[in-house]
């Protein structure tokens, strides 16, 4: 949906209705289009005249391409397989341009180790001709390097048996379902000490049973979603307090009609579909936690409308409120609702539970697309209250996911939110003159991911750009993990989207 484009978004948000103002608006859009066409020619220069020679082993540029001595930091490499150069800021004139470069290089150094260098630089280019560029000056602002003797991660899904079969004829739920499903639940379902993987395809659930480390056998469970619906998320937890994790598979429809979740009781690794007293709900995502602190698992369901776009790309109000269910410990649930004034109609994509406020039980942070996020605190009895503004965590943007962890080791949970970083967006917005309040909101939508560090007073400081973790590109998911076993939390960000052949916006 967000492939709609930032220029189109600007036209929706700044174009007046008619008359001279309308002509002025079209003039602004034309200027932006012209500027982006010029930017396209610059990116073609980066790809063909800078990166292509570098990947072919020619690390020094010809004088036609760059002034003598001007080059990227390639001196430690013997071979470069990955090269990306893009402009974050772009100020062109008829004969030159000043830019802010974002560059990434990946390859092998003289010791035979894998090396990656990424950074930013202020740069100046000349325009020998209208359709040509020459790099005149590069002044690095910062750069980071990582060196490792071997790849940190090796893809082993096929050899481990963690593959999904091709979809059977007549089973497809359509492109819309395929783009909005693919849930996982990783648990030791049969109690043998080896984690199993439950995977939700649009129309099927597959259980991968661990026989030994990195060896799985796939079986298909004999359950299906309601007619016309597809599986959208998996909520795994011990809902009946018998010692093994059960599963609630939520379902979704293309026309936003509610459909009944599928409840699977687990008995030592054997799943049985049982009747549910959960109400029908068109749920895109789910979360399991004990938000009321009574020792029984509770459930949160999020709604994401299945339609082209929201009523407002910057502040959508045509979704549905998040739904909160207190678990009774026997597969029954009691729905609790916020006060009417806090029933936000959001486009909910994901949620995370954690004690962000240091109260001894979790709050729930919901990442919403096309607008503001929400932090929910629960009163005695489980009533949810919106306390987002009180703690500075509204975070407007295209919220995709969130995770919590103690990043700086101070004993308080911090929060990382996956949004969208748009190189094109930063360039377009730099040349756009609109109302300052609107401009600030637009800037936030293109700024990327956010990292909130918790303070002792209950507030949070946003430090993503200062810590270099805002540029997650089109970030659909992010998690904290200690990837290198050094005792410090790292971040993994999954990004990308279905794209036309031109992928420069990813």
- The CATH number assigned to the domain holding 125 equals 3.10.450
Cα separation, 368 vs 22, whole angstroms: 32
Greater pLDDT, 306 or 124: 124
Say whether 304 sits in a helix, a strand or coil: coil
Residue 380: alpha-carbon gap to chain centroid: 33
Residues 299-348 pLDDT 10s = 999 999 987 789 998 999 999 999 999 999 999 999 999 999 999 999 99
Residue 217: alpha-carbon gap to chain centroid: 30
Mean pLDDT of the chain: 87
Residues 390-429 pLDDT 10s = 999 999 999 999 999 999 999 999 999 999 887 777 777 7
Q: Would you state the pLDDT for residue 70?
A: 94
Q: Give the pLDDT band of residue 61 (cuts 50, 70, 90).
A: very high
CB 272 within 8 A of CB 257: no
Q: 148, 177, 195 — which closes off a domain?
A: 148
Could you tell me if residue 488 is inside a domain?
A: yes
Tokens describing residue 432:
């756009």
Could you tell me if residue 324 is inside a domain?
A: no
Say whether 45 sits in a helix, a strand or coil: helix
pTM flag (> 0.85): no
Q: Is the pLDDT of residue 13 over 60?
A: no
Distances, alpha carbon 104 to alpha carbons 52, 54, 57, 337, in Å: 14, 12, 16, 47
Structural domains counted in the chain: 2
Residues 280-292 pLDDT 10s = 999 999 999 999 9
Which backbone phi and psi does 139 adopt, to 5 degrees? Answer: -120, 100
Q: 148, 181, 205 — which closes off a domain?
A: 148
Could you tell me if residue 178 is inside a domain?
A: no
Residues 24-46 pLDDT 10s = 555 656 666 777 788 889 999 99
Q: Is the pLDDT of residue 170 over 80?
A: no
Range of the domain at 359: 342-498
Could you tell me if residue 419 is inside a domain?
A: yes
Could you tell me if residue 271 is inside a domain?
A: no
């Amino acid at each position: 949906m967000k492939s709609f484009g930032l220029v189109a978004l600007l036209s929706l948000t700044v174009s007046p209705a008619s008359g001279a103002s309308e002509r002025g608006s079209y003039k602004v859009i034309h200027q932006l289009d012209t500027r982006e066409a010029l930017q396209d020619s610059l990116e073609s220069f980066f790809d063909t005249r800078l990166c292509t020679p570098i990947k072919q082993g020619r690390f020094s540029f010809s004088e036609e391409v760059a002034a003598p001595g001007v080059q990227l930091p390639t001196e430690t490499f013997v071979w470069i397989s990955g090269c990306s150069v893009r402009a974050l800021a772009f100020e062109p004139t008829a004969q030159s341009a000043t830019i802010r470069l974002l560059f990434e290089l990946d390859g092998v150094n003289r010791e035979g180790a894998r090396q990656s260098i990424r950074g930013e630089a202020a740069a100046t280019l000349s325009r020998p001709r209208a359709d040509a560029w020459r790099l005149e000056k590069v002044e690095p602002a910062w750069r980071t390097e990582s060196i490792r003797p071997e790849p940190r991660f090796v893809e082993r899904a096929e050899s481990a048996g963690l593959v999904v079969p091709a979809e059977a004829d007549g089973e497809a739920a359509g492109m819309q379902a395929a783009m909005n499903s693919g849930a996982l639940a990783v648990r030791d379902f049969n109690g043998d000490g080896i984690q199993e993987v439950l995977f939700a395809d649009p129309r099927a659930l597959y259980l991968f049973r661990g026989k030994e480390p990195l060896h799985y056998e796939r079986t298909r469970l004999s359950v299906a979603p309601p007619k016309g619906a597809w599986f959208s998320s998996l909520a795994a937890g011990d809902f009946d307090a018998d010692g093994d994790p059960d599963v609630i598979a939520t379902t979704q429809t293309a026309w936003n009609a509610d459909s009944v979740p599928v409840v699977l009781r687990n008995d030592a690794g054997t799943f049985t579909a049982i009747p549910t007293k959960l109400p029908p709900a068109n749920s895109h995502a789910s979360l399991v936690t004990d938000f009321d602190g009574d020792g029984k698992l509770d459930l949160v369901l999020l709604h994401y409308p299945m339609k082209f776009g929201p009523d407002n790309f910057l502040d959508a109000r045509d979704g549905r409120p998040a739904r909160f269910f207190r678990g009774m410990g026997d597969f029954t649930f009691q729905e609790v609702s916020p006060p009417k004034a806090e029933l936000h109609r959001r486009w909910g994509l994901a949620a995370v539970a954690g004690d962000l406020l240091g109260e001894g039980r979790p709050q729930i942070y919901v990442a919403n697309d096309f607008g503001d996020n929400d932090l929910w605190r629960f009163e005695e009895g489980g009533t949810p209250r919106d306390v987002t503004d009180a703690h500075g965590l509204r975070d407007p943007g295209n919220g995709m996911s969130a995770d919590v962890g103690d990043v700086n080791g101070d004993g308080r949970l911090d929060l990382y939110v996956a949004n969208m970083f748009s190189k094109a967006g930063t360039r377009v917005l730099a040349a756009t003159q609109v109302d300052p309040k609107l401009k600030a909101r637009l800037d936030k939508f293109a700024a990327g991911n956010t990292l909130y560090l918790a303070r002792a007073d209950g507030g949070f400081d946003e430090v993503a750009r200062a810590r270099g973790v805002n540029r997650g590109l089109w970030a659909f998911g992010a998690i904290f993990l200690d990837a290198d076993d050094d005792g410090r939390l790292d971040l993994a960000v999954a990004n990308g989207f279905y794209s036309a052949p031109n992928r420069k916006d990813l």
